[in-house]
Amino acid sequence: MSSLDRGTLRSGLQSLGLMRTAEDLDDLVSRATRLRWSPEQLLDELTRQEVNERARKSVERRLKRAHLGRFKPMSDFEWDWPKKIDREAVERVLSLNFIERGENVVLVAPQGLGKTMIAKNIAHAAVLAGHTVLFTTASDLLLDLSKQETARALERRLAYYARPHLLACDEVGYLSYDNRAADLLFQVVSRRYERRSIVLTTNLAFGEWNTIFPNAACATALIDRLVHHAEVIPLVGDSYRKRQAADALKERRRGR
């Protein structure tokens, strides 16, 4: 095949959206010639390459839209550090069966015990399994919704948070919010209720949520919808980050 013909073929493949084949055309033709592939074998390899490439790009797109940021894998999680953790429950939700049922996961723990790490690993596993995912903090979600200036704009953003198969909402409880914020979070939860799953992390037991949403009439209904059909997983213990800081200080002092 001449260089002109090869270039024409590459352009045609690109116009058909077969980008991986166009990029690897020279190598593909070389292997097909060397191994004396039949037309069926050549088409089989072409199809395999394109399917794998599109799957890879699909995962990349979903990861980008998920906004997970950096996180440690569960293989780095120190199961013996929390004084109390239901490892079986954590591993159960990491299997993602709750997503198919439209159920929720709530991780309740003081700061520094790894609830965000677990939530991000659940979200990452969901992306790899083919689900659409959005990870956000409670403060970012509520700030985004509260700044919408028209009913139509608010409706669009509510639809945005209702759409993903899994919404992970981190750090509920670190700030307090007014009644409008409570109403907005209630709308998000209600739109997903029994249809799409939520993973939520909080540092406060539900009995203390009155400090997050003081005087909000919808707080009880909000909690009711979150915990109905939910796996609530408490973690008890001292901050792992505090332990790391203390260990680092000891190392510095020994080095002096």
In terms of residues, how long is the chain? 256
d(Cα 231, Cα 211) in Å, to the nearest integer?
A: 23
Q: What is the pLDDT of residue 99?
A: 98
Domain made up of 74-242: CATH architecture: 3-Layer(aba) Sandwich (3.40)
How deeply is 223 buried, as exposed, middle or buried, from its count of CB atoms within 10 A (0-12, 13-18, 19+)? middle
Q: Tens of pLDDT along 122-133?
A: 999 999 999 999
**Contact call for residues 181 and 146 (beta carbons, < 8 A):** yes
* Cβ contacts of 210 within 8 Å, gap of 6 or more: 219
**Contact call for residues 239 and 110 (beta carbons, < 8 A):** yes
Give Cα 171 distance to the centre of its chain: 15
Q: What is the DSSP letter of 171?
A: E
Q: Tens of pLDDT along 7-18?
A: 888 889 899 888
Q: What is the pLDDT of residue 240?
A: 76
Helices then strands, each counted (H, E), the chain:
12, 5
**Contact call for residues 132 and 165 (beta carbons, < 8 A):** yes
* In the chain, where the domains are located: 3-64, 74-242
d(Cα 142, Cα 213) in Å, to the nearest integer?
A: 12
* Residue ranges with strand state E in 11-146: 104-108, 133-137
Q: What is the pLDDT of residue 1?
A: 47
* Residue ranges with strand state E in 109-157: 133-137
Q: What is the pLDDT of residue 213?
A: 87
What are the residue ranges in the chain where pLDDT is below 50? 1-2
- Residue 199 main-chain phi, psi, to 5 deg: -110, 120
Tell me the pTM: 0.84
Token pair, residue 91, equals 């591993």
